[in-house]
């Protein structure tokens, strides 16, 4: 499905601020894999996400989807296969447009955008049905401006918009980190059920250790631009937060340093 082969990325090359974000990172995702990603500050987690989605291009190495090298495609060209939810609840939706207009934009993923109406009666019915899955009453507010929604509501909408066209890859970039605990829990539950129901191949960055262990079937740990640990499903089941932190210290020789770490 998704293959990352020897991907490297350097920031500010040749200056005093030169920083290696990724060094020969390798990862193969099988269809239906739900991988959680943890790691210390500057480990390269966000860079990995940006390189998969096409926001950045790798200096070396390849990103492949279904065997096809997509390293040189732009972000909007790749979005046909890749859905993404950002950390910032404001980032995934257009605030001055209505809920149904936002959904219409998401609905057109992978299609050419021409002069047919974005919101039709048929599409509105689909939108209502999809919004009901969220269970937060947005299906009754189709015409409301998204800017009027709360952070949690906007993130739930972003999640729906990123997934309801069934992208081949779903990228979740700390998408619950900016929410209060109750809302974060709601989004986590929704994520779990949507990924399970649609059998989406998912990569999720998180700072919440407990969440990283509880969700998904694989867990990877990153440090200094490398993937230093890849925990398969059978071992992940019985993993505890203490074991995970211990494992990190053993491999990298230091404590996991993460400003926003949540042990769960």
Partner 1 sequence: MLASMQGAVESGLLYALMALGVYITFRILDFPDLTVDGSFTTGAAIGTVMTVSGITPWIAVLCAFIGGAIAGTCTGLLHTKGKINGLLSGIIMMIALYSINLRIMGKPNVSLMRQDNLFDNVSTIVIMIIFVVAVKIVLDLFFRTDLGLSLRATGDNSRMIRSFGANTDITTIFGIALSNALVATSGALVAQYQKYADNSMGIGMIVIGLASVIIGEAIFGARSIFRATLAVILGSIIYRIIYAFALRVEWLEASDMKLITAVIIIFALVVPSSRRLWKQKNLARKRTAEMLASIDKSTVGGGR
Taking the least distance from each CB to partner 1, the nearer of 39 and 92 is 92
Answer for which of 59, 62, 75, 192 binds partner 1 (CB under 8 A) is 75
Q: Is 115:165 a contact under the CB 8 Å cutoff?
A: no
Using the rule CB under 8 A, give the single segment among 105-113, 181-189, 191-199, 245-253 that binds partner 1: 105-113
Answer for which of 24, 31, 32, 110 binds partner 1 (CB under 8 A) is 110
What are 200's two structure tokens? 């989406």
From CA 199, how far away is CA 207, in angstroms rounded? 24
Q: Is 79 in the site for partner 1 (CB under 8 A)?
A: yes
Q: Is 234 in the site for partner 1 (CB under 8 A)?
A: no
Which letter does DSSP use for residue 146 in this model? G
From CA 45, how far away is CA 216, in angstroms rounded? 17
| Element of type H or E holding 38 | strand 34-39
Q: Is 93 in the site for partner 1 (CB under 8 A)?
A: yes
Q: Is 84 in the site for partner 1 (CB under 8 A)?
A: yes
β 82-85/226-231 pair status: unpaired
Q: Is 148 in the site for partner 1 (CB under 8 A)?
A: no
Rounded to the nearest 10 degrees, the angle between the axes of helix 151-163 and helix 121-134 is: 120
Q: Is 57 in the site for partner 1 (CB under 8 A)?
A: no
152 C-beta neighbours (distance < 10 Å), count: 20
CB of 158 to partner 1, least distance (A): 8
- 117 contact partners, CB below 8 Å, separation of at least 6: none
Task: Find residue 28's DSSP bridge partners.
Answer: 3
Q: Is 36 in the site for partner 1 (CB under 8 A)?
A: no
Q: Is 91 in the site for partner 1 (CB under 8 A)?
A: yes
Taking the least distance from each CB to partner 1, the nearer of 172 and 212 is 172
Footprint of partner 1 on 1-20 (CB under 8 A) = none
Give residues in contact with partner 1 (CB under 8 A): 53, 74-77, 79-80, 83-84, 86, 90-97, 101, 104-106, 108-111, 113-119, 161-162
């Amino acid at each position: 499905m998704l293959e990352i082969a020897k991907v490297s990325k350097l920031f500010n090359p040749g200056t005093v601020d030169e920083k290696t974000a990724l060094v020969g990172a390798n990862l193969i995702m099988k269809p239906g894999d739900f991988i959680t990603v943890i790691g210390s500050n500057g480990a390269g987690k966000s860079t990995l996400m940006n390189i998969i989605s096409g926001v950045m291009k790798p200096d070396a190495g390849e990103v492949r989807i279904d065997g096809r090298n997509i390293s040189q495609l732009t972000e909007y060209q790749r979005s046909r296969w890749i859905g993404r939810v950002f950390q910032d609840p404001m980032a995934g939706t257009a605030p001055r447009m209505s809920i149904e207009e936002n959904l219409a934009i998401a609905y057109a993923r992978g299609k050419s955008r021409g002069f047919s109406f974005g919101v039709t009666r048929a599409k509105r019915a689909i939108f209502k049905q999809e919004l009901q899955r969220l269970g937060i009453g947005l299906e009754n507010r189709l015409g409301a401006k998204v800017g009027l929604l709360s952070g949690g509501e906007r993130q739930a909408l972003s999640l729906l918009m990123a997934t309801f066209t069934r992208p081949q890859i779903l990228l979740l970039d700390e998408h619950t980190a900016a929410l209060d605990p109750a809302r974060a829990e709601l989004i986590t539950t929704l994520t779990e059920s949507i990924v399970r129901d649609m059998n989406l191949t998912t990569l999720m960055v998180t700072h919440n250790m407990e969440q990283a262990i509880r969700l998904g079937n694989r867990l990877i740990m990153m440090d200094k631009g490398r993937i230093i640990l890849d925990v398969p499903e059978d071992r992940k089941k019985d993993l505890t937060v203490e074991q995970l932190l211990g494992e990190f210290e053993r491999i990298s020789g230091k404590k996991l340093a993460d400003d926003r770490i949540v042990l769960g």
